[in-house]
A = this chain, B = another copy of it.
Amino acid sequence: MAKQPFPLSDVYGLLEPGPVVLLTTGSGGRTNIMTLSWHTMIEFEPPLVGCVLSNRDYSFDILRESGECVINIPTVELAEKVVACGNTSGREVDKFTTFGLTPVDAELVSAPLIDECHANLECKVVDDRMVNQYGFFILQVLKAWIDPLRAHPRTIHHLGKGAFMVAGETIRLPSKMK
């Protein structure tokens, strides 16, 4: 998939609607993919993103040690693989090979991009003060990539217990909001 750089100032529009994301980490030969829905924008520019990982997640220690990750945004075509990533641990399986996802080298971080996702955000940890208590990492997006051919990506949004809302129609209203 031929991706293009995406303006950092527009990253909020990818994450504000609350899609399920696949977070990739990589450190010292270990890479992993985890499924994650607990994230929020924190600042527009430079874009800061907060996300919650459990200290039981295999990715938790890799993220702490490496200080880097990629937020990959999948669409409904990948829904079964997204759930499979959420139902397994990187301690037991290599999720890239097991689920047929393609790692691609990032430009600025050691964690890989997932080629099949329509957007990828290369991130570094900039604040870990809330990690011990809440598992809450604050990330800065350093570089963003998007597939320019997907004008209306049908992202998926977790409703709990394996139910997902699929992105529907887009409406536009006169707004002064960014």
Contacts and interface: CB of A to CB of B under 8 A. Distances in A.
Contact of A134 (B18, B38, B42, B169): B42
Contacts of A161: 13, 175, 177-178
11 contacts: A40-B40, A40-B52, A42-B134, A76-B171, A130-B130, A155-B165, A157-B167, A162-B172, A162-B174, A167-B168, A168-B169
A101 interface: no
A176 interface: yes
4 cross-chain pairs, A with B, having the tightest CB-CB distances, nearest first: A18-B18, A168-B168, A162-B175, A13-B160
Interface residues of A, number: 55
Contacts of A41: 37-38, 52
Interface stretch (A24-32, A78-86, A116-124): A78-86
Interface in A98-149: 129-130, 134, 136, 138
Contacts of A43: 134
A96 interface: no
A55 to B, nearest CB: 13
